Amino acid sequence: GSGGFGARGDSRFLGGPAATDLELLARIELMADQLMTARAEAVLARAAYHRACEDEAAASVGFLSPMAQLVAPRVARALAGRLAAVERFALWARELDRLQREAHARGLLIFPT
C-alpha cells in the first residue's frame, strides 16, 4: 500500500477531514523519498536483468534469441523484478504528482511557468 497516503487510504475518501497543509507537505516529502527509493530499485533491477541475460547467453552453446532468453528461469525472474520495480516507480510518481497538484491548488507550491 501507499502507507495510507493514497486515494484509498486518505481519510478524505473515508468521510474524514482533509489533510492539513502541514500533513500534505509531509506526504509530499515522503512520496519524494519513496520515488527516489523506487528509482534506485528500478536501476538495480535493470542491471540484474541485463546480467541475467548476459549470463544466460554465455552459458548457452549457440546463439540464443531474445525470446529463448526470456524463458530461462533466471532471466524471467529478473525481468519480472524489473517490471515490478518500474510499476512501483510509476505508482509513487503518480501519487507525488497528485499530492503536488493538491498542494499547488492550496497555494502551498508554486510551479514555474
Model confidence over 5-24: pLDDT tens digits?
444 445 444 445 678 999 99
24 in Cβ contact with 108 (< 8 Å): yes
Q: Which residues of 5-26 are buried (b: 16+ CB within 10 A; e: fewer)?
A: bbeeebeeeeeeeebeeeebbe
Q: Could you give the C-alpha distances from 18 to 29, 69, 102, in angstroms and in order? A: 18, 50, 11
pLDDT band at 112 (very low <50, low <70, confident <90, very high): low
